[in-house]
Structures are given as structure tokens and as C-alpha cells.
Structure 1
Amino acid sequence: MPVTIPSALPARRILEGENVFVMTEGRAGHQDIRPLRIAIVNLMPTKMATETQLLRLLGNTPLQLEITLIRMASHDPRNTAQAHLDAFYTTFEEARGDKFDGLIITGAPIETLPFEAVDYWPELCEIMDWATDHVYSTLYVCWGAQAGLFHHYGIEKYPLAHKMFGVFAHRVLDPRNRVLSGFDEVFPAPHSRHTEIRASDVEATDGLQLLAVSDEAGVYLAASTDGRHLYVTGHPEYERDTLKAEYDRDIGRGLDIAVPRHYYPGDDPTQPPMVSWRSHAFLLYANWLNYCVYQGTPYDLAAISSHTAPPSDED
């Protein structure tokens, strides 16, 4: 089944060109099923690119999804046309009265700032608190994961001596966890960040479980024990050339940036990068949608609350 998006959204043409199954709102309205309602709080400056990356992963499941794009009213984005925001995005105030099966909070290239110094931090905290009673399961990505772990559990982020930049091997710690169903014991995923979350802090926190780590990149995947919060510190949604574009941009600015590790063949930036993480990226999103959202969310969204219990294996 497809992901349902507005007919005019630029991502639609890109995804259809890749043979990704998307459906217009008009066609979806004729199907006699309840689609999963997924909201995306898009904090990335390259909003259109991020839309395409996330919708590509969300569209590769047997579930029909209805997507709502949310932007920060307290922040004025400089890299996305206002016409695009007006046409395809809603503010949190406009979405506040709705309930959603799932929520994705993206990363943002601001991890060196203290959380409280981010201009939209109060609004984002309000969204994360609102989601407790209005969203069944939330997926936090990169800086979004750091923000969620800090807000919900007080887990700090720490600066790195050098940017964590490249594609790294990760070890599955709990192969029985449904989020990791079908994963290889070791799998690759991209990272691009200047700060880190420490495994010892996650392991010492009640209500959290560490699911996957990297010997080089550290924590990759953590989850609340009830499955309603999933934290991904990397960027599984990245495309083939995303890390390359970041590297080329920084080199063009004269910054002292290392070649992204394990990304180019032989770590040679004159060679075209190879994609090694795509299958696990699709699997991660499919598992989140199936096991964390679809299997537990109530049919009547009005029933979602902080006390909504996930299904047990005996259900």
C-alpha cells in the first residue's frame, strides 16, 4: 500500500520516478480503510530534500499512510520558499487538536548549541509533551533524538573532538526486539553530527533500552521499554549523495573537515560513493510502522492517551 501525499508536493514526482508507490489524496479517499496518520515535524533547513528522503522510506510498507507536515511557527526558515511552506505545511497550533498514530521529529544542524539556545526549543518541548496524549509512537532522528532524550529523561549530549561523519557498522544488542526484526547482526548506517549520546547514560536510565551501538560511532538506537518512543542518532534516511554534498559544501567553505569514513571506496572522495545502508533503513522504518505504531494504535484515534498500553505478545 502507498503513502498518501498532496498531488502537487514536489517529492511525489521524484518518488514516482523511482517506482515508489505513492497515492494522491483524491484516490485515497475512495478506499474504505483507515490510513495511519503520520505527522512529520521537519526541522531540517533542506525541507524538500528531507521530505523526499522520509517519504521514500515510509512508502515502502503494506500500510496506507496519511502524512501531515508540521513546521515551527517560532522559527523563520531561510532555505525553503514560503510558497512551499504555505502550500504543504501546517503549524503546531493548527495541528494541536488532532491525534496521530505516529510522529517523526527530524534532525537539525544545530547540535553544538545548548538546547535552550535554540529559538524554537520551547515550541518543540510543547510538541513533545503534547505527543504524550496525542500520538501513539514517536520516532526521533539525530538531533531530534538528542532533544527527545534530554527533554524526556534529562540525558545530556556531549561535544565530540571531531565530527562523527560517515557510514559506520553497528551491532544489534537485542535481536528479539521487534524494531530489529530481520536485521543482520552487524549493519551499516550514516552519521553526521558534532555531539554524542553516551551508552552508559542510556543504560542507567529507567524506562530506556539500548538496542544498537557502533564501536566507532557509539549509540545508534534506543527505545522506551513500552515501544512508544524510538531514538535514532544517525541518518538512515540519507541518500547516496547526502554525505558527499555536506563534505563538498564544507570543503568549499574552507572548513577543516575529514573525508566521511567508510563512504567512498577506499575513502577516496574522487570516487562515487556506494550505498550500503538502504535495506536496513527501509527495514527500520517498516518495523517502526508495523510493531510500534500499527500493532498498537487504537482504531479510534480519540482513544490515544499517555495510558494507552502496547499489545503484549499474548494479545
Structure 2
Amino acid sequence: MPVNIPRDLPARAILEDEGIFVMSDERARSQDIRPMRIAILNLMPTKEATETQLLRVLGSTPLQVEVTLLHMASHASRNTAPEHLEAFYATFADVEDRYFDGMVVTGAPIELLDFEAVDYWPEMTQILDWSREHVYSTIHICWGAQAALYRHYGVPKYELPQKLSGVFDHRVLRPDSALLRGFDERFRAPHSRHTDVHAADIAATGAVDILATSDEAGVLLAATPDNRQVFITGHPEYDRDTLSREYRRDRDAGLGTAMPANYYPHHDETRTPVLNWRSHGVLLYANWLNHCVYQRVPFEQSGT
């Protein structure tokens, strides 16, 4: 079933070429069903690439999804054209009186900054606090997950000796979780970050369950028991070449970042990476949309 996005959004043509079912506002309004209203708070500098990644996994579900893209009003984006933001994005002020069935909060390449040193942290905390009353279920990704764990539960982040980058093996700890229905006992997912959260700190909150973890990469997936707050420290939505582009960017900037682990065949960066995490990434978002949002949210939502 379709994801409902603006006709002129650049991601639309890419997704249509891949066979992802997208729909116009006109066709959506002609159907006698209510779409899932999903907000995407896009904190990534390369917003168009992130839009495409997330819309791809959201558009691979059996539900109609109406997406609202959000950006930070208190931060000037240097990598996305102002015309793109003006045409396709809203700010928190535009939506603060609305209710959403779900929200996705992306990561951002700012893990080495203290949370309070991020220029949009006051706006970020406002949105995170608002989401607990105005969004039925929220997925937080990478830095977004660390920020939400810190804001809601006081969980700290820790700087890693070197950037964690690669595709890692994970094991399911809670096969009974709705988020992990249909998962293999072990599955792969990409990570790309400079900081970490510790399982012991998450467990100490008494409010968040750890659902999937890796011996190499640590906690991947955690959630509150009602799945209304979901935390993903990795990037199951990443494209085949995303880690490669990040690695080459860091290398060209002289940052000394190591080659992504378990990514290039035979650890040879001239070879095309094998895309071996997509199915579980799609399944994770499908489970979230179906079991944690669609099956539980009221038909007419005016509060949570």
C-alpha cells in the first residue's frame, strides 16, 4: 500500500522507479480510509537522501502513510537548498497543535557535541517533550535515539575510541516483541556513530527494554514496554552505498576513519558492498507501523 508524499518531492521519482507504491493527495482523498499520519523530523544534513531512505521503508508496508517532513527552525541547513525546505518541509511551530500517529526522529552527525552544546537543543527538547503527548509512537534513530534516551530517562552517551562504522551481526533478545515479529534470531544492521549508550544504563531506567544487541556494536534496539518510545542506535534504513559515501567523505577530510567493518567484500573498498540488511530493516518499520501504530491508535486522534 502507498506512502502519500508531495508530487514534486525528488524522492518520489526514485521510489516509483524502484516499484515503491506512492500516491498523490488527490488519489488519497478519494479513498474511504484514514492514512497513518507520520511526521519525520529530519536532522541529517543531506536531507534528500534521508527522505528517500525513510520513505522507502515506510512505503514498503501494507498501509497508506501520510508524511509530514519537519526541519529545525533554529538551525540553518548548509547542505539542503532553501527552496527544498520551503517547498516540502514544515517547522515545529506549524504542527505543534496537531496530533500524529507516529514520528521518526533521525540521527545527526553531532554525536561528539554535548547535548546542551547543540545549537538547536532547546528546540529539540521542546519537540521531544511535545511528542509524548502529541504522537502515539515515536522511533528515534542513532543520535536521535541517544538524545531521547538522555532527555526522557537521563541515559548518558559515551565517546568511542574510534568511529563505529560497518554492518554488524545482532541477536534478538525479546522475540515476543511486536517490533521483532518475523525476525531471524540473528540479523545484520549498519551502524555509523562516534558515541555509544550502555545497556546497563538503559536497564537501570526500569522503563526501557533492550530488544536486540550486538557483541561488536552494542545495543541496537530498545523500547518502552508499550512501544510508544522506540530507540534504534543503528541505521537499518541505510542504502547499499551510504556507509561507503560516509567513509569516503571522512577519508577525504583527513579524519582517519577506518574502513567500515563487514561491509566491502574481502574488505576491498573498490568492490560493491552486499546489501544484506534491507529485509530486516523493512520488516522493523512494517512491524512498527502495523503493530505499534495502526493496530492501536484511535481512528480519530485528539490526544494520547
* TM-score tier (shorter): over 0.9
| SS of residue paired to 1:83 | helix
1:21-170 → structure 2 map (5 Å cutoff) = 21-170=21-170
Q: Supply the distance in 2 between the matched residues of 1:180 and 1:115 (Cα, whole angstroms).
A: 30
Partner of 1:294: 294
Q: Supply the distance in 2 between the matched residues of 1:142 and 1:63 (Cα, whole angstroms).
A: 25
Partner of 2:15: 15
1:200-279 → structure 2 map (5 Å cutoff) = 200-279=200-279
Q: Supply the distance in 2 between the matched residues of 1:145 and 1:67 (Cα, whole angstroms).
A: 20
Q: CA deviation at 1:169?
A: 0.3
| SS of residue paired to 1:6 | coil
| SS of residue paired to 1:168 | strand
| SS of residue paired to 1:222 | strand
Q: Supply the distance in 1 between the matched residues of 2:276 and 2:267 (Cα, whole angstroms).
A: 14
CA deviation map 1:138-197 (0-9, x unaligned): 000000000000000000000000111000000100101111000010100000000000
Task: Give the residue type in structure 2 aligned to 1:242.
Answer: T
Q: Supply the distance in 2 between the matched residues of 1:253 and 1:65 (Cα, whole angstroms).
A: 38
Partner of 1:309: none
Q: Supply the distance in 2 between the matched residues of 1:254 and 1:158 (Cα, whole angstroms).
A: 23
Q: CA deviation at 1:271?
A: 1.2
Q: Supply the distance in 1 between the matched residues of 2:85 and 2:115 (Cα, whole angstroms).
A: 25
CA deviation map 1:93-120 (0-9, x unaligned): 0111110000110000000000000011
How many residue pairs match? The answer is 304
Q: CA deviation at 1:254?
A: 2.2
Task: Give the residue type in structure 2 aligned to 1:149.
Answer: L
Q: Supply the distance in 1 between the matched residues of 2:178 and 2:285 (Cα, whole angstroms).
A: 12
Q: CA deviation at 1:255?
A: 2.2
Task: Give the residue type in structure 1 aligned to 2:24.
Answer: T
| SS of residue paired to 2:176 | coil
Q: Supply the distance in 1 between the matched residues of 2:5 and 2:270 (Cα, whole angstroms).
A: 37
Q: Supply the distance in 1 between the matched residues of 2:281 and 2:80 (Cα, whole angstroms).
A: 26
Task: Give the residue type in structure 2 aligned to 1:239.
Answer: D
Q: Supply the distance in 2 between the matched residues of 1:236 and 1:227 (Cα, whole angstroms).
A: 18
| SS of residue paired to 2:38 | strand
Structure 1 segments, 4+ long, off by >3 Å, are none
Q: Supply the distance in 2 between the matched residues of 1:119 and 1:269 (Cα, whole angstroms).
A: 35
Among all aligned residue pairs of Structure 1 and Structure 2, give the percentage whose two residues are the same amino acid.
61
| SS of residue paired to 2:164 | strand
Q: TM-score, normalised by structure 1?
A: 0.96
Q: CA deviation at 1:25?
A: 1.1
Task: Give the residue type in structure 2 aligned to 1:220.
Answer: L
Task: Give the residue type in structure 1 aligned to 2:31.
Answer: Q
Q: CA deviation at 1:204?
A: 1.6
Q: Supply the distance in 1 between the matched residues of 2:196 and 2:64 (Cα, whole angstroms).
A: 35
Q: Supply the distance in 2 between the matched residues of 1:107 and 1:254 (Cα, whole angstroms).
A: 23
Task: Give the residue type in structure 2 aligned to 1:93.
Answer: A
- Say what the alpha-carbon RMSD is for the aligned residues: 0.7
Asked whether 1:192 is paired with 2:187, we answer: no
| SS of residue paired to 1:38 | strand
Structure 2 gaps, min length 5: none
Task: Give the residue type in structure 2 aligned to 1:282.
Answer: V
Q: CA deviation at 1:27?
A: 1.1
